[in-house]
Amino acid sequence: MSIEVNNETDYDIPLAEVEKLCRHVLDTMFLHPSTEVSVVFIDEAAMSDLHVEWMDLEGPTDVMSFPMDELRPGTQNKPSESGLLGDIAICPPVAQEQAAKGGHSFADEILLLTTHGLLHLMGYDHEEAAEKAEMFGIQRQLLEAFLGRPAPKETVE
């Protein structure tokens, strides 16, 4: 797997932990061993620009996902096809606010948003109640297995 994690902010991001989480999620979801993904941490101005350009919404948001090859989870007997999963952009200032509101650490929020972004890259969504229940359930399972403890409360609606 090719996992690229970059921090373009002054925030102290647990980059090695984010990379390990990405490997855990991609392995657990049976993505092909040569799958590529990137995660970048950007400031509020850069996130605001992306939010307007891609969603036509003002202001920064917490996480945005940009799928590339529309890869979907595989199974133990048949991994996904190989390819470029996509890019995730996360905004640490927004994550910090959400962590405080959620009552958990900044690092936990970063891991939560990374998992959330990865699931979006794999085609999961939370527009409808049933989709939200499925996506957030998988998100919680993935995080709890990675952390070895209960997952932080979801801050992404």
Q: Supply the pTM of this predicted model.
A: 0.95
The pLDDT of residue 131: 93
Classify domain 2-147 at the CATH class level: alpha beta
The pLDDT of residue 86: 97
CA distance 16 to 22: 10
- pLDDT confidence bin for 154, thresholds 50/70/90: confident
Question: Checking phi first, is residue 87 left (phi over 0); if not, alpha (psi -120 to 50) or beta?
Answer: beta
The pLDDT of residue 157: 53
CA distance 93 to 91: 6
The residue extents of the domains of the chain are 2-147
pLDDT tens per residue, range 46-71: 999 999 999 989 999 999 999 999 99
The pLDDT of residue 155: 74
